Chains A and B, each alone.
Chain A
Amino acid sequence: MQFALLMSVLAPALAGLVVVGVSAIAARVRGHPGLGPGAALSAPLGAFAAYLPVRGMPELPPTDASIWALWLSLAAVAYGTVRETLTPVARWVAGGVWTVVTLSLVWQPAFAYGLPGRLGVAAVGVGAGLMTGAWMLIEIRSNQLEGPALPWALTVWSGASAAVLAVSGTALLAGAAAGATVALGVLASYSLWRPQVCCAGAVAPAVVLVGGLVAGGWAYAEVTTSSAVLLGVAGPTLGLVRLPSVDASRWNSLFREVGVAAALGAAAVGAGFLPEFESNGSSEAAGDYGGYGGYGESNDDGYDGY
């Protein structure tokens, strides 16, 4: 277990270092400050690197629908690489289609029981709207705001999502989100050193990955609706944070963006501890027994996830 935990931090850190290092060397050789596909690869590679030591190579198509988020974020690297060649309309269309496809695949098994009919359409609509908003607005803001503010805000948002998943009974999804966070952290650290590097390419894969994992945690684990909504709202908010008088200072931008991400992220983690409806089948199972008293309910003393 210690090995798995260690690897879920070390492996993504190594993956992030390799990607950023190779991209930075390639950028120097090309004489261009951009990281090419390196920025886009960070979050998906970090998630895969965290997943592999714990569970091996994810299946395609995956057994657990939540794992679609990993594959679709990897596919979004293509978008993150070529996004500069696309028109704004094409980017919005790509973002909308990608997020609808991601949520539809992640929630596809849930359409049969928890999200039927109009409820399912509404959930996909709201979720895809928030994810597309985060994708587009952070991307646009990344082009305007040079420096480490947005990469760090993205890292904090991803980290808060990992924490929400961890307190919601799914170490597997939390581990993948944590892996993405570590790799994004490497990218964000690089942007402290080289503030002229644009990290906009990292946004789409990160949003697809983290949004998909939180959506999976909401449908199949115990992520509360309030936590999911707070994380969903935090994404577009990061792209909207703007105070012109402070924009001149890189450090003020950094503190402001990270502050917003941290505040909303902390609220989402806190909301994970609020009581919500119980969805387990414990009491239901005792249904038709009429013999010698009822079954005792499970207590939750001392269980540490292991």
Chain B
Amino acid sequence: MKFDSIRSSLWAGALLLGLAVTGAAQAATYEIDPSHTFVLFEVKHLGVGKAHGMFRKTTGKFDPDEGMLKVSIDANSLYTANKKRDDHLRGPDFFNTKQFPKITFESTKVKKEGDKLRITGDLTIKGKTKSVELMMSKVGEGKDPWGNFRAGYEGSVVLDRMDFGVDYMPDGLSKDVKLTLAVEGVRK
């Protein structure tokens, strides 16, 4: 009887150890895959339509279990499918990308809400930092054909561009800008 009890305890210990090891393996950091990560923005134009654009070069890392998300966006990689407009948006009227070449986000707090993550963090655009909240949902995870483990999340936030000094054309372009972050990362 006593022997059985010891054996049961050993099994329970092994199981707990195994779970702990598995948990540690899952709490890994993902490195953002720039070619499959999209930062999209949407702004109302003249109150009648929506203009869309994107930043095409994003780096960073995230760890959903540790609640960490760090993103660095190359502001010069802005793209709206119109070169003149791209140059205008890169210039001093809007993002002034030569003076402020990076847009960054760094999480400060993460809260799980069902299957979503409420991520609070510091967003820096044009040298101005504001705390914003992103609601991120997991898109999926799994192994890619090359054996790497990938995970993808997507979320969005509505910003007041005036808070970040991107304040040109207040009557032509809405102050509210929807920023969508669709990240795909490779587990390291």
A residues at B contact (CB < 8 Å): 1, 3-4, 54-56, 63-66, 109-110, 113-114, 169-173, 216-217, 219-222, 279-282, 284-291, 295-303, 305-306
Q: Is B88 an interface residue (CB 8 A)?
A: yes
Query: Is B80 in the interface zone, CB < 8 Å from A?
Result: yes
Contact of A300 with B84 in the complex, beta carbons under 8 Å: yes
Pick out which of these stretches binds chain A: B13-21, B24-32, B133-141, B161-169: B161-169
Could you tell me the distance between the alpha carbons of A172 and B85 in the complex, rounded to whole angstroms?
15
B90 in the interface (beta carbon within 8 A): yes
Query: Are A170 and B98 interface neighbours, CB within 8 A?
Result: no
* Interface SS majority for chain A: loop
Please tell me if the beta carbons of A1 and B169 are within 8 angstroms of each other in the complex.
Answer: yes
Q: Is A222 within 8 A of B87, CB to CB?
A: yes
Q: Give the Cβ gap from A292 to chain B, nearest Cβ, in Å.
A: 11
B108 within 8 A of A: no
Contact between chains at B77 and A171 (CB < 8 Å): no
B56 neighbours in A (Cβ, 8 Å):
282, 285-286, 295
Nearest chain B residue, comparing its CB with the CB of A288: B35
**Number of B positions contacting A (CB below 8 A):** 37
Is A280 in contact with B99, judged by CB distance below 8 angstroms?
no
**CB contact under 8 A between A285 and B74, given known A222-B91, A291-B35:** yes
Give bound CA distance, A153 to B93, whole Å.
28
Interface, chain B (partner A; CB < 8 A)? 34-35, 56-57, 74, 76-88, 90-93, 96-101, 126-128, 165, 167-169, 171-172
Residue of chain B at shortest CB distance from A174: B93
**For residue B84, which residues in chain A have a CB less than 8 angstroms away from its CB?**
169, 300, 303, 305
Cβ contacts A to B, 5 pairs, < 8 Å: A63-B126, A280-B76, A284-B77, A300-B83, A303-B84
Partner of B168, one of A65, A109, A172, A286: A172
Complex CA–CA separation, A285 to B87 (angstroms): 15
Q: How far is the CA of A4 from the CA of B101 in the complex (A)?
A: 28
How many angstroms between the C-alpha atoms of A132 and B80 in the bound complex? 41
On chain B, the residues within 8 Å of A1 by CB distance are 169, 171-172
Known: A170-B93, A285-B77, A291-B35. 8 other contacts (CB 8 A): A169-B87, A172-B93, A220-B92, A222-B87, A281-B57, A297-B83, A300-B83, A303-B85
Contact B83 A55 (CB under 8 A): no
Tell me the minimal C-beta distance from B152 to chain A in angstroms.
16
B35 pairs with A280, CB closer than 8 A: no
